Chain A
Amino acid sequence: MGQDNFGKMKSHSEPGPGDGGKTGSWRVKRPIIDLTVCIPAKSGKVACFACWMYCPDGVITRTIPPVIDYEYCKGCEICAEECPVNAIEMVEETQFADKEG
């Protein structure tokens, strides 16, 4: 009789860092969270996490405070756009280039 393992090649992938290689190098601008403005950081409560929710690459943690994984963040600016209190600023990567070598 024939096989019983059908559909074993469905196209699917789990979200997580690294699926497209180390994409941090693609970044032109870097999102920086102002922890004095960020709702969960400021209040110390589990709240908001709009950045975590909207990040298309899943590189922002749902923690207090939220932490961005710059190894993979592509700098798409969606978190900065979605942050309801404008706590995230996009800073030109050139400003870090000298400091980080």
Chain B
Amino acid sequence: MHVIESGNVAAATGVKLARTQVIAAYPITPQTPLTEKLSEFVSKGQMTAQYIPVESEHSALSVCIAASSTGSRTFTATSANGLLYMSEQVHWASGARLPIVMCVVNRGVGAPWTVWNDHQDSISQRDTGWIQMHACDHQQILDTVLKAFMVAEKVSIPVMVCYDGYLLSHSYMPFEIPKQEDVDRFLPSFSSDCKLDPEHPLNQNTVTLPDVRPDIHGNMSPGYMEIRHNLQQDLICSLDVVKEVEDRFKGIFNRGGSPFIESYLCEDAEYVAVCMGSLSYQLRDVVDQLRNDGQKVGVAGVRLYRPFPNQAVIDAFSGKKGLVIFEKGISYGNQGPLFTDITSALYQVEERPFAHNYILGIGGREIKTQDLLDTFRKSIQSGRKNEIKTEWIGLKL
């Protein structure tokens, strides 16, 4: 069934279809309508989940951690400073290997106070050990929530589903709501082999000494370093799982198929624009216009930001003449984080494209299609020259 609804409703619908069992979230703009919709689903009996009201984001994720530890399918959502307020627990959830799914409705981070969109919030949580997926439209938001649960539960790693605040969260567009029976076929119920159970008491994530030591049965139990190494190994291996899940989803719903990089007209392109989120769709119109002018250009939207799909980046971009990387976030004091990741992946490639880095749309600054067009043209004309400095576009100084 097709509906026209907001991106937040698309996310809530995905959470409902996934038969999520426990939800704890604290409202924050622009995520608020998502949690409101979920509480409405629960209060109207359209969903059988426990909706646990909390007094802060830190508590929201703490509740999810506890609930997930008992083996239930668990969801939360937040934005910007809310995400930062739960940051300690964000690290905990991945270290504890709990398959929580969290929507991050991307918003700029204060100070100064802003409620509008950029990617600084989720980018700042890049190194927490979570999987980070980015959605570009409402259909992808809903679909990605479903895939996120499956990936998270297969690899025992929590997943952030990121989508642009306001641009996607509060805009309306058509999307298809899949049938519950198809979702059930796609996503089996969650079972954990290491959960809290009164019949078999155990301690989880207590102080773990620097070195390994025997457990009560005399078997060697891992130290902190082994456990963290295992998280890293599993994140790298989860790239395969993300791909498998995408294929499985496509087999059932006949949608998707590009879990790492979603390309538009990149096949024969000489120059490719790269970015994350809804901007990669806006850039399609820019690419169309440049193609009309005879330029061989394409756009690539990075859908999976962590684990970073290094091989997919190499496959997609080696042999290109140039990359124009647009970002709504920055590693202050250095450069755009996506730029760092992409250029680092391409370092080992002999025929490297040049790469230019542009920061834009910070704190909801309007991204004009004309500015994108001008910038893309300028980058192409500047020829083969790498520029380490980042340039901000749309600035009014």
Asked whether any CB of A lies within 8 Å of a CB of B in the complex, the reply is: yes
Question: B206 near A2 (CB under 8 angstroms)?
Answer: no
Q: Is B359 an interface position by the 8 A CB rule?
A: no
Q: Is the CB of B230 within 8 A of A9?
A: yes
Least distance between B46 CB and chain A CB atoms (Å): 32
B96 on interface, CB distance cutoff 8 Å: yes
Q: Enumerate B235-284 residues with CB–CB distance to A below 8 Å.
A: 237-241, 244
A6 / chain B contacts, CB cutoff of 8 Å:
154-157, 234, 237-238, 241
Contact A15 B230 (CB under 8 A): no
**Residues in A1-16 with C-beta less than 8 Å from chain B:** 1-3, 6-16
A14: min CB distance to chain B, Å: 5
Measured CB to CB, the closest approach of chain B to A95, in angstroms, equals 31
Interface residues on B, range: 20 to 34
| Complex: chain B residue closest to A14, CB-CB | B202
> What separation, in Å, do the CA atoms of A19 and B200 have in the docked complex?
17
Is A44 an interface residue, CB under 8 A from the partner? no
Question: 1/0 per position for A52-69, CB-CB distance to B under 8 A?
Answer: 000000000000000000
Q: How far is B222's CA from A91's CA once the two chains are assembled, in angstroms?
A: 38
Contacts of B241 in A (CB 8 A): 2, 6
Q: Is B194 an interface residue (CB 8 A)?
A: yes
In the bound assembly, the distance between CA atoms of A8 and B95 in angstroms comes to 12
Please provide the 10 A-B residue pairs with the shortest distance between their CB atoms, ordered closest to farther. Answer: A7-B156, A2-B240, A9-B230, A16-B216, A6-B155, A7-B97, A2-B237, A11-B205, A9-B222, A13-B203
Which B positions have Cβ atoms within 8 angstroms of A?
A: 95-97, 154-157, 194, 200-206, 208, 215-216, 221-222, 224, 226-227, 229-230, 234, 237-241, 244
Known: A7-B155, A7-B234. 20 other contacts (CB 8 A): A1-B240, A1-B244, A6-B156, A6-B157, A6-B234, A6-B241, A9-B222, A9-B226, A9-B227, A10-B156, A10-B194, A10-B227, A11-B96, A11-B206, A12-B205, A13-B206, A13-B221, A15-B203, A18-B216, A19-B215
A residues at B contact (CB < 8 Å): 1-3, 6-19
